[in-house]
Structure 1
Amino acid sequence: MSLIAELPNAGLLKKVADAMKDLCKDVNFDCSEKGIQVQSMDSSHVALVSLNLKESAFTDFKCERPASLGMNVDSLTKILKMTSPNDSLKIRHQVDSDVVGFQCEGTDDRISEFELKLMQIESEHMEIPEQHYKVIAKMPSSEFQKICRDLKEFGETLQLSGSKEGLKFQVKGDIGSGNVLLKPRESEKPEEKVSLTIHEPVNATFALRYLVNFSKAAPLCGSVTLGLGPDAPLLVQYDLESEDKGHLKYYLAPKIEE
């Protein structure tokens, strides 16, 4: 066996696959002794998805030698749909095998097994430069999702600006315009608070449909972190339930004004 990985709950991988499937069709799951990673651009090369599922997220993890498992994300979600969120999930792959095996075990002693054919996917590993964001915002992921969905009704381009006033989402379109201003707020519950760090004001525009896609990862984590810099891709980061299990990051290139 070159890979044996056991997740205590299949729900985590299901949420990850659901969060990626509208952006990436076929991806390589790169396995090493540190865990499982994915880096994939969407077809239009505007957005990058970066997943880091750390070894600590698994109850059992052995990877004897690094392997790249190419999978169709839609097919993976079909397999994971058959699992219950609290089933334990074992992922197995043998050296040079062209399938990856999934075994899920429920609390009712039901064991289901699936195999998924692997694909050869050409992909170049992208180095993501370390960014020093001028604006960092942390907010409830459900609120981010609602803002993106609400504003999508007004237009296609979102103007995002961070300043001392707060974080402002603005959209202008044919039917009118909308804007939402989020101000920092404290809360007993970390997933309800809004925190803003502004090193300098930043104003940038992005294609809103991508942000609506990114916001579909909301079930992964109660809060989401946005990183904004001048002429830099926007970072949208979710922890995988908790920070020590890893993260799912999206990067979105800004729209260049014509």
Structure 2
Amino acid sequence: MAFQAHLQQAGLLRKVVDSMKDLCKDVNFDCSEKGLQVQAMDSSHVALVSLMLRESAFSDFKCDRPTSLGMNVDSLGKILKMCGPNDSLKLQAKQDADVVSFQCESGDDDRIADFDLKLMQIESEHMEIPEQQYKVIVKLPSSEFQKICRDLKEFGETMQVKASKEGITFSVQGDIGAGNVMLKPRESDKPEEKVSLTVHEPVTATFALRYLVNFAKAAPLCGVVELGLGPDAPLLVKYDLEEAGNGHMQFYLAPKIDE
């Protein structure tokens, strides 16, 4: 086997795939001894999805040589739907194979489902994501970020994000009017209820809301979402995969530059 991995909770991979299926059609899962990585642009080249699922997230992980597994995200989602949230999942691919096999086992080992998914040759250029020094880093509950994006999407297509030491304001102007939601920093013992801002300088930037709504669908991955903002820089939306040691899912979105 060139690659084999065992994930105790199939639900983790399912949430990952659900959060990218509206953005990317076909992606390469790059396997190395570090884990599984994905870097993919959406079809309009406005958004970038970057996944790092570390080998430490798996109970067993073996990759003899770096290999790329090209998969259709929708088909992968269909396979993972068959796994219950507590099922474990084994992934295997032989060297130069044209399929990757999935084996789903229920917690009591009384139900085992097997699938082979045909691999695809996907042309993809590897993008180096430059290390950004963000002027503003905001951490907020991912459920709250999801609600703000969904609510404001009803009013317009573009969202302005304005961050300063006082807090972060999400604003939309549309045909029926304008709306703002402001979140001020707040303390809580639970990280998933806290809002914190690190502000080196205030930033205001504008983004297409439909992408943010898609990014916010990754909320089930982690109770906290991190936003990175800089002047004229892509927005970073980052989720840990349940916990930081498992890796992360990052989305980048190019700002809308006023014509």
By the TM > 0.5 criterion, same fold? Answer: yes
Q: Identity percentage over the alignment?
A: 77
Instruction: Find runs of 4+ consecutive structure 1 residues off by over 2 angstroms.
Output: none
Pair 1:218-2:219 in alignment = yes
SS at match of 2:192: helix
SS at match of 1:116: strand
Aligned to 1:66: 66
Aligned to 2:206: 205
Question: What is the number of residues matched between the two proteins?
Answer: 258
- In 2, Cα distance between equivalents of 1:27 and 1:187: 38
Aligned to 1:24: 24
| Deviation at residue 133 of structure 1 after TM alignment | 0.3
Please list the CA deviations of residues 102-134 of structure 1 after superposition, one character each: whole Å capped at 9, or x if unmatched. 001102321110010000000000000000000
Please list the CA deviations of residues 210-258 of structure 1 after superposition, one character each: whole Å capped at 9, or x if unmatched. 0000000000000000000001000000000000000000000000101
Please list the CA deviations of residues 43-95 of structure 1 after superposition, one character each: whole Å capped at 9, or x if unmatched. 00000000000010000000001110000000000000000011010000000
Aligned to 2:102: 102
Aligned to 1:46: 46
- In 2, Cα distance between equivalents of 1:223 and 1:163: 20
Aligned to 2:9: 9
- In 1, Cα distance between equivalents of 2:181 and 2:136: 17
| Deviation at residue 174 of structure 1 after TM alignment | 0.1
Contact 2:28-2:69 within 8 A present in 1 as well: yes
CA RMSD of aligned residues (A): 0.5
SS at match of 1:244: helix
SS at match of 2:217: helix
| Structure 2 gap segments, 5+ residues each | none
- In 2, Cα distance between equivalents of 1:140 and 1:164: 18
Contact 2:136-2:230 within 8 A present in 1 as well: yes
Aligned to 1:131: 132
Aligned to 2:235: 234
- In 1, Cα distance between equivalents of 2:86 and 2:107: 8
Aligned to 1:33: 33
| Deviation at residue 164 of structure 1 after TM alignment | 2.0
SS at match of 1:206: strand
In the superposition, the TM-score normalised over structure 2's length comes to 0.99
| Deviation at residue 188 of structure 1 after TM alignment | 1.5
- In 1, Cα distance between equivalents of 2:225 and 2:200: 19
SS at match of 1:78: helix
SS at match of 2:152: helix
Contact 2:166-2:185 within 8 A present in 1 as well: no
Please list the CA deviations of residues 179-235 of structure 1 after superposition, one character each: whole Å capped at 9, or x if unmatched. 000100001111100000110000000000000000000000000000000010000
- In 2, Cα distance between equivalents of 1:177 and 1:154: 7
Aligned to 2:115: 114
| Structure 1 gap segments, 5+ residues each | none
